[in-house]
Chains A and B, each alone.
Chain A
Amino acid sequence: MILKKSVYRTLKEKKFQYAGVAVLLLLAVMLYVSLSMAITTLESRNETFSEDYKQESFHFVAGGSFTDEQLSLWEDEYNVTLEKRKYADFEVDDSTLRVFTTTESVNIPYIAEGKAPTGDQQLAVSKVYAEKHQYQLGETITIGDGEFEITGFVYLPDYIYMIEQMTDLLADAEKFGIAVVSRTSFSGANGQTEILGWTGDGDVPNGFREAVSEETALLQFVHSDDNPRIGFVETEIEGAKGMTTTLPLFILALSIAMVLMLMKRRMEMQRKEIGTLMALGYRKKELVRHYLGYAWVIGLGGTVGGLTAGAGLSVPLSNLYANYFNLPALSMFDWDPFVIVIGFVLPLLLLILLTTFVISRTLRTEPLTLLRPKEVSSGKKSWLEKLPLLQKGGFIRRFRLRLLVRNKARSVYIFIGVMFSTVLLLFGLITFNSMDQLVETTYKEILKYDYAVHYQSLMTEETKDEQSPFTMNELGVVDQDVKITAYGMEKDNEFIQLSAEGESLESDISEGAIISAPLAAVLGIGEGDEINLENSLNSDTMQVEVAAVADLYIGNNLYLPREKLNDFLGFPDEAYTGTWQNKSPENSENVYMVEDKQKAIDSFESTTGATRASVAGMAVFAVLIGVIVLTLLTNLIVEENSPSISLFKVMGYHDKEVSKLVLSVYTPIVLIAYFVSIPLASLSLQQTMNTLVQETGFLMPTDVAWWMVVIGFIVIMLTYWLSLGLSKRKLKNVSLQEALKKQQD
């Protein structure tokens, strides 16, 4: 059809409008595709790595040692593959490097670059750790008393999330890394031996654990499901899957709404043209096809561009994820046909269907009606115009108010556009601030100790003055799949000063349990509610009332008086499992684990750089979307009101005055939208945090500080003024003849 040329020329003439909506669509598809593809790639890499490199089903550490014959017997009896692995921690470059002996049957190391260590003085080190410490292949590093040459970069299937302690929340390759040496090179007597087990289905064979316990005391038995180094990546994938659709869907809705608005406007502007074509004998179907050309160009441009950009972006994004999770790049990226279908077909289908609806509505009008000129005034008279408020004041005031109420749809879109940008911007600012607040409140105001020392067995001997004893145990909640870290602590404790909004909760502990904010969110409870605790060892239960929720944002923690917890666990009153102290433990005898608070702080703070980058990204994104939406809308407003604008110019109004009359009308809408969005952003972020808390284990404070309101305001107003500036150029170009032309029509 020759008419398609008209589509291309109109698109070219109004390139800013149509490119703007195409970019919005592109952003929506790009975000969805890149995030989904990255998640798919991550999932696929995780699956392949776990399966091909025999990720452990469990591992255990026992008090005594086992002979190879004993392990073979168990292998036959329980149909399980067992393998011994030695490991030891070394202080290297202000970090801990955990060195493992290589394995052949379970947790097989994957050498990504270089080769596996074979000689006694060789090792392969985690790539991300090497990058953080600027180690190159072939370089020699000092570990303990020996010099080791780095022969390759290694990944271990049981250290996908590379954390030092299983209780750690964040991985930080600057502070902790892993390495693998050959079996022969590891003669270190200080190392520990663990037994790795692989069953294929991930389950622990029935009776196996009991059989091992009968042989010797089990110090640790960890099923892969309870191992965050293995499981965290999976929960993160599940959590991220939901997140990948929310933001893109919103932008998609915004872009489709904009396309429909543009199409409605185009149909209005071309009424006479449509009427003429109908009079000439064009069928409705042919005209629908013709006008759908706009939607096809925008849709295909946006979706194909979005798919391409998204697929391209998913590669670095996958690698970023893979680095974060210490997963080898076993594939470049994995195509998920479902993502392609959703990312391409769904937006296009929605766009075409809804545009068809808009076009068909105009085409239902008789050709004769279309051929007749429509009233020059834009919009219909609204019931709002009958309000006394709109009848008062001078012409300028009444004109502006009427414009506002006659273009309700534009006002609503401006409101939504500003709201979307504000929420996105504040999301970034709150997140940025909350990381600092989290560290400040949790680690500096509440957890005052420097070290938490956990012992291998129950202690009863008197602690020193500079120590505070505590009992720690993992408890369950009756009928719920939630694990709680319960602490029995001394009252008037200088190492833990539980507080909420700056108020001490010291006295509350005698009235019941004090819980952390993540636990309150996970269980959906608060002060005065009750929790039914369950001891997983003997199924004993105890009901405790929540006395207060502390501003402690990390961990599912519950604090009780020590005697009370000891009583519930069946421990002697004076027993404890660890001590909080400010000095590093002098000897490691009977010490099972030492939590170094500074390391936890460092690892949170090391993520600040990434957070800053993501905040900047979010701000740019928010401004970009804001500018596109607001400029498109103000452009349309100028276009719709061009006869009035022209008339004002003819009458002698200056461009500035006309702009004030027509464009600045929407300033109150922008202001209202901004201030309404502030609590909305805080609430929605809080909601997001609450849904993610189960996976992340920490909760971020979502308070809005005054400086965020100021920064947000400045950014949004600059965005608005930028859009106005762009539209003012269009306003200047409205010719004086425009009004006369419309009158003639």
Chain B
Amino acid sequence: MAIFANQVNKTYQSGEVKVQALRQASLEVPDEKIVTILGPSGSGKSTLLNVIGGIDRYDSGSIKVGDTVLDQLKDRQLTDYRRKFVGFIFQQYNLIPTLTVEENVEVGRELSQQPLDMKDTLEKVGMWDKKDKFPSQLSGGEQQRVAIARALIKNPQILLCDEPTGALDEETGKNILKLLKFVNEQYGTTVLIITHNQGIGEMAHSVIRMKSGEIVDSYENENPVHPEKVTWS
């Protein structure tokens, strides 16, 4: 599913200070591609991801995801949009601690009308044999795998990943990136990854750079590298 953003602006009120998180941000993400948004903290990359994912609203401009224009959607319509099309992956995994691996994934499965198979999904992320474990019994990488499975099982059209490897070491991080690439290739899911790890850009089909709420650069990778080979920083 393709994503189009056109001159999107977003301002936050932080106490008495106004922070312009997005300034005339425009981008185009083709269908079934991996796009990495790079930038330092406070550059607006998370805000951009959030407005695309429909968990935050923008002040002006326009965003279109597939055939859905997000500009005027009401709360309920935004929820339906997230439910049908979007999968989220967070830096801190955000699993429900009182549910097992399988049950956490079931939380995502219940939302979809055409979910993927549970066993198949958990096997693909390599967590089937740990399906009865609770999040507290898993490592960070394993928890992130479960979070990916939870997002994936909905069979979403776009996968929005907010610093998915931010809390992981290089080896585990690369394994997660391999998984994201596999999802993209296997299911044709558009994957948007925000990160401050420059090296991750090497595996994406295209890279967007942001600074102070603006998209300052974007380019396409003609030969994306295998996740195993990204330069970890």
The answer to whether B55 and A367 have CB atoms under 8 Å apart is yes
**Most B C-beta atoms less than 10 A away, residue of A276, A284, A745:** A276
Which residues, 322 to 345 on A, are CB-close (under 8 Å) to B? none
The answer to whether A281 and B83 have CB atoms under 8 Å apart is yes
The answer to whether A283 and B90 have CB atoms under 8 Å apart is no
The answer to whether B92 and A745 have CB atoms under 8 Å apart is yes
Pick from B96, B108, B151: contact of A6, CB below 8 A. B96
- The 8 lowest CB-CB distance pairs between A and B, nearest first, are A281-B83, A9-B98, A276-B94, A281-B82, A2-B106, A6-B98, A367-B55, A368-B56
Pick from B76, B88, B107: contact of A2, CB below 8 A. B107
Pick from B50, B53, B107: contact of A3, CB below 8 A. B107
**Most A C-beta atoms less than 10 A away, residue of B90, B96, B106, B154:** B96
Is B99 an interface residue when CB atoms closer than 8 A count as contact? yes
Is B7 an interface residue when CB atoms closer than 8 A count as contact? no
User: How far in angstroms is the closest Cβ of chain A from B154?
Assistant: 8
Query: B150's closest neighbor in chain A, by CB?
Result: A280
Is A586 an interface residue when CB atoms closer than 8 A count as contact? no
CA distance A272 to B150 in the complex (A): 16
Question: Hey, which chain B residues are within 8 Å of A9, CB to CB?
Answer: 98-99
Is B138 an interface residue when CB atoms closer than 8 A count as contact? no
CA distance A371 to B47 in the complex (A): 13
The answer to whether A280 and B108 have CB atoms under 8 Å apart is yes
Apart from A272-B92, A281-B82, A281-B154, what are 19 other A-B pairs with CB-CB below 8 Å?
A1-B110, A2-B99, A6-B98, A6-B103, A272-B94, A276-B94, A277-B107, A278-B55, A279-B55, A279-B82, A280-B111, A281-B111, A282-B83, A284-B75, A366-B55, A368-B55, A371-B94, A744-B92, A745-B92
The answer to whether A283 and B76 have CB atoms under 8 Å apart is yes
Which residues, 684 to 712 on A, are CB-close (under 8 Å) to B? none
User: How far in angstroms is the closest Cβ of chain A from B156?
Assistant: 9
Binding site for B on A (CB under 8 A): 1-3, 5-6, 9-10, 13, 272-273, 275-284, 366-368, 371, 744-745
User: How far in angstroms is the closest Cβ of chain B from A343?
Assistant: 32
Question: Hey, which chain A residues are within 8 Å of B90, CB to CB?
Answer: 276, 371
Interface membership of chain B positions 55-78, coded 1 if the CB is closer than 8 angstroms to chain A and 0 otherwise: 110000000000000000001100
CA distance A509 to B27 in the complex (A): 102
Question: Hey, which chain B residues are within 8 Å of A367, CB to CB?
Answer: 55
Question: Hey, which chain B residues are within 8 Å of A5, CB to CB?
Answer: 98-99, 103
Question: Hey, which chain B residues are within 8 Å of A276, CB to CB?
Answer: 88, 90, 94, 96
Is B114 an interface residue when CB atoms closer than 8 A count as contact? no
CA distance A281 to B90 in the complex (A): 15
Query: A745's closest neighbor in chain B, by CB?
Result: B92
CA distance A375 to B90 in the complex (A): 20
The answer to whether A281 and B80 have CB atoms under 8 Å apart is yes
Query: A364's closest neighbor in chain B, by CB?
Result: B75
Pick from A279, A282, A284: contact of B53, CB below 8 A. A279
User: How far in angstroms is the closest Cβ of chain B from A294?
Assistant: 12
CA distance A42 to B75 in the complex (A): 57
CA distance A272 to B108 in the complex (A): 16
The answer to whether A280 and B99 have CB atoms under 8 Å apart is no
Question: Hey, which chain A residues are within 8 Å of B150, CB to CB?
Answer: 280
The answer to whether A278 and B79 have CB atoms under 8 Å apart is yes
Question: Hey, which chain A residues are within 8 Å of B103, CB to CB?
Answer: 2, 5-6
Q: Which secondary structure dominates where chain A touches chain B?
A: helix
User: How far in angstroms is the closest Cβ of chain A from B7?
Assistant: 21
Question: Hey, which chain A residues are within 8 Å of B79, CB to CB?
Answer: 278, 281-284
User: How far in angstroms is the closest Cβ of chain A from B163?
Assistant: 13
The answer to whether A280 and B106 have CB atoms under 8 Å apart is no
Question: Hey, which chain A residues are within 8 Å of B99, CB to CB?
Answer: 2-3, 5-6, 9
Is B86 an interface residue when CB atoms closer than 8 A count as contact? yes
Question: Hey, which chain A residues are within 8 Å of B86, CB to CB?
Answer: 281
CA distance A433 to B108 in the complex (A): 65
- A sample of 22 cross-chain residue pairs with beta-carbon separation below 8 angstroms, ordered by A number, consists of A5-B98, A272-B94, A273-B96, A276-B96, A277-B107, A280-B82, A280-B107, A280-B111, A280-B154, A281-B79, A281-B83, A281-B86, A283-B76, A284-B79, A366-B55, A366-B56, A367-B55, A368-B50, A368-B56, A371-B90, A371-B94, A745-B92
The answer to whether A371 and B76 have CB atoms under 8 Å apart is no
User: How far in angstroms is the closest Cβ of chain A from B35?
Assistant: 19
Interface membership of chain B positions 92-116, coded 1 if the CB is closer than 8 angstroms to chain A and 0 otherwise: 1010101100010011101100000
User: How far in angstroms is the closest Cβ of chain A from B98?
Assistant: 4
Question: Hey, which chain B residues are within 8 Å of A1, CB to CB?
Answer: 110
Is B23 an interface residue when CB atoms closer than 8 A count as contact? no
Is B84 an interface residue when CB atoms closer than 8 A count as contact? yes
CA distance A367 to B111 in the complex (A): 17
The answer to whether B55 and A371 have CB atoms under 8 Å apart is yes
The answer to whether A2 and B82 have CB atoms under 8 Å apart is no
Query: B104's closest neighbor in chain A, by CB?
Result: A2
Query: B76's closest neighbor in chain A, by CB?
Result: A283
User: How far in angstroms is the closest Cβ of chain A from B150?
Assistant: 7
User: How far in angstroms is the closest Cβ of chain B from A368?
Assistant: 5
**Most A C-beta atoms less than 10 A away, residue of B55, B83, B90:** B55
Query: B94's closest neighbor in chain A, by CB?
Result: A276
User: How far in angstroms is the closest Cβ of chain A from B143?
Assistant: 13
User: How far in angstroms is the closest Cβ of chain B from A475?
Assistant: 73
Question: Hey, which chain B residues are within 8 Å of A371, CB to CB?
Answer: 55, 90, 94
Question: Hey, which chain B residues are within 8 Å of A279, CB to CB?
Answer: 53, 55, 82, 88
CA distance A538 to B126 in the complex (A): 103
Question: Hey, which chain A residues are within 8 Å of B83, CB to CB?
Answer: 280-283
The answer to whether A280 and B98 have CB atoms under 8 Å apart is no
Query: A2's closest neighbor in chain B, by CB?
Result: B106
Question: Hey, which chain A residues are within 8 Å of B98, CB to CB?
Answer: 5-6, 9-10, 13
Question: Hey, which chain B residues are within 8 Å of A6, CB to CB?
Answer: 96, 98-99, 103
CA distance A367 to B55 in the complex (A): 6
Question: Hey, which chain B residues are within 8 Å of A281, CB to CB?
Answer: 79-80, 82-84, 86, 111, 154
Query: B53's closest neighbor in chain A, by CB?
Result: A279
CA distance A13 to B103 in the complex (A): 18
Question: Hey, which chain B residues are within 8 Å of A282, CB to CB?
Answer: 79, 83, 111
User: How far in angstroms is the closest Cβ of chain B from A519?
Assistant: 65
User: How far in angstroms is the closest Cβ of chain B from A125?
Assistant: 65
Query: A11's closest neighbor in chain B, by CB?
Result: B98
CA distance A367 to B51 in the complex (A): 12
**Most A C-beta atoms less than 10 A away, residue of B82, B98, B151:** B98
CA distance A277 to B53 in the complex (A): 13
User: How far in angstroms is the closest Cβ of chain B from A21?
Assistant: 19
Which residues, 172 to 217 on B, are CB-close (under 8 Å) to A? none
CA distance A10 to B86 in the complex (A): 29
User: How far in angstroms is the closest Cβ of chain B from A714?
Assistant: 42
User: How far in angstroms is the closest Cβ of chain A from B44?
Assistant: 14
CA distance A327 to B194 in the complex (A): 81
User: How far in angstroms is the closest Cβ of chain A from B12?
Assistant: 10
User: How far in angstroms is the closest Cβ of chain B from A376?
Assistant: 15
Pick from A273, A283, A284, A368: contact of B94, CB below 8 A. A273
Question: Hey, which chain A residues are within 8 Å of B50, CB to CB?
Answer: 368
CA distance A2 to B118 in the complex (A): 14
Question: Hey, which chain B residues are within 8 Å of A273, CB to CB?
Answer: 94, 96
User: How far in angstroms is the closest Cβ of chain B from A268?
Assistant: 15
CA distance A9 to B96 in the complex (A): 11
CA distance A5 to B106 in the complex (A): 11
User: How far in angstroms is the closest Cβ of chain B from A433?
Assistant: 52
Which residues, 134 to 189 on B, are CB-close (under 8 Å) to A? 150-151, 154
Question: Hey, which chain B residues are within 8 Å of A3, CB to CB?
Answer: 96, 99, 107
Question: Hey, which chain A residues are within 8 Å of B76, CB to CB?
Answer: 283
CA distance A367 to B88 in the complex (A): 12
CA distance A283 to B80 in the complex (A): 8
Question: Hey, which chain B residues are within 8 Å of A278, CB to CB?
Answer: 55, 79
CA distance A592 to B86 in the complex (A): 96
CA distance A366 to B79 in the complex (A): 11
CA distance A537 to B24 in the complex (A): 100
Question: Hey, which chain B residues are within 8 Å of A13, CB to CB?
Answer: 98
Question: Hey, which chain B residues are within 8 Å of A366, CB to CB?
Answer: 55-56
